[in-house]
Amino acid sequence: MVVGKRLYHSRKWVTFHDFLRDYLLGSLGADWSNAEQAKPVEQRHQILRWYAQAVADAKPFTNPDGVTSGPMTGAIQAFLNLAYNIYLIAHHGDGQAMADIYLQRLRGTRDDAFIGALFETYAAAAFLKAGFTLSYEETKPKSHSSVEFVATWPKTGEQFSVEVKSRVHTAHLEAPDGPVDEVKRLRVGAKLAKALSKAAAHTRVVMIEINVSDQLKASGTLEGWPAAALKQIRDNEGATDKDGAPLPPAYVFVTNHAFHNDLAGTGGNIQALAAGYRIPDFGPDVRYQGFAGVMAARAKHAPMTALIESMKTHYQIPATFDGELPSTLTPGGGPPRLKFGERYAISDENGALQAGRFYNASVDPRSGTMHGAFELDDGRHIIAADALSPKELAEYSQYPDTYFGEVLKPGGKCESFVDWCDWLFETYQHTPREKLLEFMSNAKDVEQLKMLGQRELAIAYSERMASALHKPQGVAGTPDSAAKPAV
């Protein structure tokens, strides 16, 4: 296994998680790790307490073949995520120097230093997973900027000055006797103002980790802490600096890694709110004019849109070295039943059996119904429905973004109206203009549609098809709503 310019090897590693375990313990220093593990568990450093609990949580599920498969508890997630973050930072560019700085800070015993370093690794990893390149200010001998790092979007060269703030607390302070004061609890407004007071050379991005135990019950809703965090952002948009000038605009990402506060629990993942501070057309409370308005805003804020999509789809840590599903590691597990890029026999609209290339899919996690998109040999595109078996659905639920052999294309998890629009646009974005007009020939506004270009027609057709397919499950939402506020 190569990490940056360093080579690692062990015959004991069956899974990528095996490597991450040894990689983090070794990177922290074998002597330091061994010394910590020699202490009683309650006296160990936080990272080694995570590790001890992770080992205990996994022990009942150990198999004779050496592959452990069981629930992902908060302790396992906390330990593996930190290992993966350090791995990503060290592996990309000149990140080894910054990884070494983080490791030194992480070994500290002060809560504020540890938590600050921990969530800075999450922020850096989020940008790396989205395809940004990073330049770390702490590794520069004479830096005039006080932000954590500068992120560059390779497609355009746009640069962003990223500042990270995190909330430090202890778990026993999380149960107040009276009503919760969300401003005092989250402190998003105060941390945002402090972050924006720092010098920065580029467009600002502020990442704030609120570090609370709340687990959102449903994605895409502005309830609970996301609503409180957004209100604090909006309420502070009139704030000024010490000279009376308005604070600068910024993209703001409020995150919550709730599993850090529920180490014995399962099912936790990253939750995030993305909003613009003094950027009026970016955020979950912005009302766009249909899917065309959503697409225009995404194009305008393309790097941040890519970051949002990456945070939605890349929170799962790979279990295998080659990207295959974990079921391939155990005898009889087998590969996924359907894989992108493969050809299958399906029935067309006339019931005739045709060969088609499978290239996109959407799965309803409640029913297990899959809608697959296939390109036939004659150029036609067919959407066909199928059902995943309980075993397939269980594995899909664990690895929804790579279950079909490649990263799922936009809209693959259709929970909202915009999700359906995305998925349909992925299918129809290259359909000839004449064919799109034929599809909508019975529309009352067909004369107006004839004035649109191919891309605009594809957007319009996707939106109309989504209106027919989207079945809200009691969650408020309208066709002109923005992307989901929480991921």
DSSP state letters, 220-268: T---SHHHHHHHHHHHTTT-B-TTSPBPPPEEEEEEEEGGGG-TT-BS-
Q: Would you say 14 and 69 are in contact if contact means Cβ atoms under 8 Å apart? A: no
Residue 308 lies inside a defined structural domain of this protein: no
Do 341 and 266 share a domain, yes or no? no
Short-list 155, 77, 164, CA closest to 123: 164
In whole angstroms, give the CA distance from residue 47 to residue 121.
14
Q: Are residues 278 and 340 in the same domain?
A: no
Query: Is 89 a domain residue?
Result: yes
C-beta separation of 124 from 168 below 8 A: no
Please choose, from the candidates 403, 442, 400, the residue with its C-alpha nearest in 3D space to the C-alpha of residue 313: 400
CB 86 within 8 A of CB 121: yes
Residue 309, in any domain of the structure: no
State whether 342 and 271 are in the same domain: no
Q: Are residues 156 and 224 in the same domain?
A: yes
> Each residue's pLDDT tens digit in the chain (487 positions)?
889 889 999 988 988 999 999 999 999 999 999 999 999 999 999 999 999 999 999 888 776 666 667 788 999 999 999 999 999 999 998 899 999 999 999 998 888 899 999 999 999 999 999 999 999 988 877 655 589 999 999 999 999 999 999 998 654 444 445 567 888 889 999 999 999 999 899 999 999 999 998 887 666 667 889 999 999 999 999 999 888 999 999 999 999 999 999 999 887 778 999 999 999 999 999 999 999 999 999 999 999 999 998 998 787 788 777 666 666 655 555 555 688 888 998 887 788 888 999 988 888 877 888 888 888 888 888 888 888 888 788 778 777 767 787 665 544 567 788 888 998 998 899 999 999 999 999 999 999 999 999 999 999 999 999 998 876 543 333 333 333 323 3
- Per-residue model confidence (pLDDT) at position 333: 52
Last residue of a domain, one of 269, 285, 301: 285
User: Is 0.95 surpassed by the pTM of this model?
Assistant: no
Same domain, 37 and 122: yes
> Residue 308 phi/psi, 5° resolution?
-60, -50
In terms of domains, do 276 and 342 share one? no
Assess if residue 314 is contained within a domain: no
Q: Would residue 320 count as lying in a domain?
A: no
The answer to whether residue 64 is domain-embedded is: yes
Residue 483 located in a structural domain: no
Phi, psi of 417 (to 5 degrees): -60, -45
Same domain for 22 and 145, yes or no, is yes
The answer as to whether 17 is a domain residue is yes
Nearest alpha carbon to residue 487 among 130, 186, 152: 130
Are residues 107 and 194 both part of a single domain? yes
Q: Which structural domain range is residue 376 located in?
A: 336-469
Q: Indicate the number of domains in the chain.
A: 2
Cα–Cα distances in angstroms (integers) from residue 236 to residues 184, 191, 358, in the given order: 14, 11, 48
Based on the domain organization, do 379 and 263 belong to the same domain? no
256 plus 367 within the same structural domain? no
In this predicted structure, what is the pLDDT of residue 178? 54
Q: Alpha-carbon distance 383 to 359, whole Å? A: 11
144: Cα within 13 Å, side-chain hemisphere: 3
Report pLDDT for 327.
62
Residue ending a domain, among 258, 285, 312, is 285
**Coarse DSSP helix, strand, coil percentages of the chain, rounded to the nearest 5 percent:** 40, 15, 45
pLDDT at 481: 34
The answer to whether residues 104 and 227 belong to one domain is yes
- 23: nearest Cα among 39, 4, 42, 41: 4
341 and 239 together in one domain = no
